[in-house]
């Protein structure tokens, strides 16, 4: 669900660009906003899993107690002992090349890598070429972000019902067909602007969602 904020930030970038149209000022404004996030590091607690991995059990139990207190959860009086009993997985000597050693893993890895490269290429091509759409660039960019945000909510129940693989394939086909139709309309007619306005963001959202699905394979 944290990916939803990416889509909301995408939409918000249109507001910043509207008031700061020059790219230098736009980049500076976004950079300042990102720098301000450093202030949060003084308020965010350390990850309990990281503390356990470093065998800092007392600190991990203290963080969990604070979380339990804010969420009104009962963690028990012997929380530190429970944390100490957590077994860390043994480190194995692994390499990314292990994915290519057997025919089964090699087939899956190469298929996912190819599909991921294609979807990322289409996604960013549509993002960077948003100014070619009819109408306001700011509105079109915000529409892309809105479509992307809605796609997150559509994807989650579909995965729960049908599984990851068929949803990935369906989104890929829908996105590809939408992009092809847009290309044909742009080349063959001058009156297909309204269809391009709806189809292109649709293909954009499907490609983005396919990228996220592949990223979590």
- Does the pLDDT value for residue 108 go beyond 60? yes
* pLDDT the model gives residue 54: 79
Q: Could you read off the pLDDT of 150-187 as tens digits, one per residue? A: 877 777 788 788 887 888 888 888 877 877 777 777 67
As to burial, measured by CB atoms within 10 angstroms (0-12 exposed, 13-18 middle, 19+ buried), residue 189 is: exposed
Q: pTM of the prediction?
A: 0.65
* pLDDT the model gives residue 86: 67
d(CA 17, CA 144): 15
Residue 82 pLDDT class (50, 70, 90 cuts) = low
213 with 164: CB under 8 angstroms? yes
Q: How many CB atoms lie within 10 A of CB 29?
A: 15
Residues 62-94 as b or e (16 or more Cβ within 10 Å = b): bbbeeeeeeeeeeeeeebbeebeeeeeeeeeee
């Amino acid at each position: 669900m944290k990916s939803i904020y990416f889509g909301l930030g995408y939409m918000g970038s249109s507001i910043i660009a509207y008031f700061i149209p020059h790219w230098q000022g736009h980049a500076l404004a976004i950079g300042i906003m990102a720098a301000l996030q450093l202030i949060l590091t003084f308020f965010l607690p350390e990850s309990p899993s990281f503390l356990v991995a470093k065998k800092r059990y007392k600190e991990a139990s203290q963080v969990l107690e604070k979380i339990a207190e804010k969420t009104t959860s009962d963690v028990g009086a012997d929380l530190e002992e429970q944390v100490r009993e957590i077994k860390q997985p043994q480190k194995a000597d692994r390499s990314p090349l292990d994915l290519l050693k057997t025919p089964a893993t090699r087939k899956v890895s190469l298929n996912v890598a190819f599909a991921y490269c294609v979807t990322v290429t289409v996604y960013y091509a549509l993002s960077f070429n948003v100014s070619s759409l009819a109408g306001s660039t700011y509105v079109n960019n915000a529409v892309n972000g809105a479509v992307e945000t809605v796609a997150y909510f559509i994807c989650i129940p579909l995965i729960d019902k049908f599984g990851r693989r068929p949803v990935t394939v369906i989104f890929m086909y829908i996105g590809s067909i939408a992009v092809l139709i847009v290309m044909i309309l742009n080349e063959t007619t001058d009156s297909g602007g309204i269809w391009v306005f709806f189809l292109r963001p649709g293909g954009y959202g499907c490609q983005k969602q396919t990228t996220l699905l592949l990223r979590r394979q």
